[in-house]
Chain A
């Protein structure tokens, strides 16, 4: 077993999880809901990019931007139609609706794009030539480099965005206390829409990165990585941006190492980690303790 090679693969996979987990964590932090359909937005983004690049021969960058645009609109529309009317409802109702949306996206994709797996173009691998770059004697593919870089850039940009811009501050205010934020003149609905827009655009990027590493694209491509990324978000402490990064990376590394022992049971190991984390520290590694008021 090559530990260093596994570590590199783990960080690469973990970076994708981290980007997906960001979408979960931001939405959960602000709307206090588990957006179950997030994983399927990833799948839609990957399909858009696939068709743009493979079928219509557009440059990859245009394909990625197009996927981001479509997913942003999709995320905002989903929020407006399905989640906004339920803002005051029980969390059970919202979760079931989110599952319904997830199901809808998967089956709509099945009708639109059929169930046969599509071979996602590996344009990211060609960035540093055919061999990729060598690092400590291991060759690293272009996809891995781009994935890790994208993850770092997104993290830095998001931290700056939530910390310094007016919209970012509004987001933090909404996640602390929606009613108080509204009294301060913050448009809560617009802030939530914005959160969904950012989360969905990130999902599109994650979709492209995921399918570049694992080029089999089907309508259910997004669901398992989506659930695992949610696991990562919970692992790191849901609602926390650095938590999503930490959780994603750890989960990716754990999964790759578990795979070297048993391919079939690697998912079971990932979910067992989730259960243990939740039992030992229900708020996750970097999460805040919330006290329940009577």
Chain B
């Protein structure tokens, strides 16, 4: 029985990987043969980073069972530290892909540090309080970034909160981050292939974590905290593990996202972005990894589709309605009972078949 369930899990994981690889191959083939529209091409890297964001948020919301409303905060930490790293290493590391990797690692590490700083106090709280404090942290991170000025010259990096002039840059230096103006003059380093690899890495990390001993401990804490603690699972340790892993992935996704544009505003990573990522997770199915990927890819591309039909105005309204309806439908006892009956029937048939074989 145990072997059977692990076999089933392996198949399910392989299907998830398969979908991602197939999507990448199809896009590459289409790009090489038919050619893709520029609006679609422009969406490829954002889609990759939003998929990683959705995967990482699903780790917190779905697997760990804690609602985080400040996930864009970690994305912005990754984005801005990644941009700084890429700009600072412009001379030292001339090869662009290596610089991109370093930028993403720096972004991931700093977001991880932010995750520890936020997670240690926050994870002591529960439920709605935890959600509102993550929101507060997201806003604080954005507020701080809005007064942060960073410049680079031969002497190294300069930081200030007073303004561009206070950076005291030497001749030939330039400001990378200009407070509310955000990061400007970014050299575009991100590529679709790099995004694809990041998605695969994130997927591997999340799936391996979920199917490990630690992952089971995290899910046990989600399902019944008191019972899990009474059999010796340390709540803080495992919850922090999920939270920080999530922040690290979000940081890498943020760096990828920012290095795809020539400028990025701190305002981009506000509460609305956190909600957008939450919508991906909820619509994909809370705790469902494959669902997050599909929802993130589809919903990032949807605005482009709607724009071509002149329906863009309605998009956010539709999101809101769909979000409410999905929550109402999935929590409706009658509908749930109905779905369980269908599923139960299919399961029974499957078991009968396997006993015959």
**B-binding residues in A (CB < 8 A):** 33-34, 82, 85-86, 88-93, 95-97, 99-101, 103-104, 106-108, 110-111, 223, 227, 230-231, 234, 262, 264-265, 267-268, 271-272, 274-275, 278-279, 282, 292, 294
B113 proximal to A (CB < 8 A)? no
**B contact residues around A267 at 8 Å (CB):** 139-140, 143
Q: Contacting chain A: which of B21-29, B90-98, B130-138, B248-256?
A: B130-138
The CA of A278 and the CA of B118, in the complex, are separated in Å by 13
B328 proximal to A (CB < 8 A)? yes
Q: What are some 25 contacts across the A-B interface (CB < 8 A)?
A: A86-B327, A86-B328, A91-B128, A92-B61, A92-B286, A93-B327, A93-B331, A96-B282, A97-B324, A97-B328, A99-B278, A104-B320, A106-B316, A107-B320, A223-B271, A227-B135, A230-B132, A231-B132, A234-B129, A234-B132, A262-B147, A267-B143, A274-B132, A282-B125, A294-B226
Nearest 9 pairs between A and B by C-beta? Answer: A104-B320, A100-B323, A271-B136, A103-B320, A268-B143, A100-B324, A107-B316, A107-B317, A89-B331
The CA of A93 and the CA of B125, in the complex, are separated in Å by 18
**B contact residues around A86 at 8 Å (CB):** 327-328, 331
B156 proximal to A (CB < 8 A)? no
**B contact residues around A278 at 8 Å (CB):** 125, 129, 133
**B contact residues around A100 at 8 Å (CB):** 320-321, 323-324, 327
The CA of A101 and the CA of B328, in the complex, are separated in Å by 12
B234 proximal to A (CB < 8 A)? no
The CA of A234 and the CA of B132, in the complex, are separated in Å by 10
B127 proximal to A (CB < 8 A)? yes
The CA of A106 and the CA of B323, in the complex, are separated in Å by 14
**B contact residues around A92 at 8 Å (CB):** 61, 65, 67, 127, 286
Give the size category of B's interface with A: 35 or more
User: Is B328 a contact of A34 with CB atoms below 8 Å?
Assistant: no
B275 proximal to A (CB < 8 A)? yes
**B contact residues around A264 at 8 Å (CB):** 143, 146-147, 180
Task: Name A's interface SS.
Answer: helix
A275 touching B143 in the complex, CB below 8 Å, given contacts A85-B332, A104-B317, A294-B226:
no
User: Is B323 a contact of A279 with CB atoms below 8 Å?
Assistant: no
User: Is B328 a contact of A275 with CB atoms below 8 Å?
Assistant: no
Identify the interface centre among A92, A93, A279: most chain B CB within 10 Å of its CB: A92
B298 proximal to A (CB < 8 A)? no
The CA of A282 and the CA of B67, in the complex, are separated in Å by 17
- Write the chain B residue with the least CB distance to A227: B135
**B contact residues around A33 at 8 Å (CB):** 128
A96 touching B327 in the complex, CB below 8 Å, given contacts A101-B320, A103-B275, A278-B133:
yes
The CA of A231 and the CA of B328, in the complex, are separated in Å by 27
User: Is A34 a contact of B132 with CB atoms below 8 Å?
Assistant: yes
Q: Could you say which of A111, A271, A279 contacts B139, with CB atoms under 8 Å apart?
A: A271
Q: Mark B241-278, 1 if CB is under 8 A from A, else 0.
A: 00000000000000000000000000000010001001
**A contact residues around B14 at 8 Å (CB):** none
The CA of A103 and the CA of B318, in the complex, are separated in Å by 10
Identify the interface centre among A33, A96, A108: most chain B CB within 10 Å of its CB: A96
**B contact residues around A292 at 8 Å (CB):** 226
**B contact residues around A274 at 8 Å (CB):** 132-133, 136
- 8 Å CB interface, B57-96 against A: 61, 65, 67, 69
**B contact residues around A230 at 8 Å (CB):** 132
- Write the chain B residue with the least CB distance to A294: B226
**A contact residues around B346 at 8 Å (CB):** none
Q: Distance (Å) between the CB of B220 and the closest chain A CB?
A: 15
The CA of A199 and the CA of B179, in the complex, are separated in Å by 38
The CA of A91 and the CA of B317, in the complex, are separated in Å by 23
A279 touching B320 in the complex, CB below 8 Å, given contacts A86-B331, A271-B136:
no
B144 proximal to A (CB < 8 A)? yes
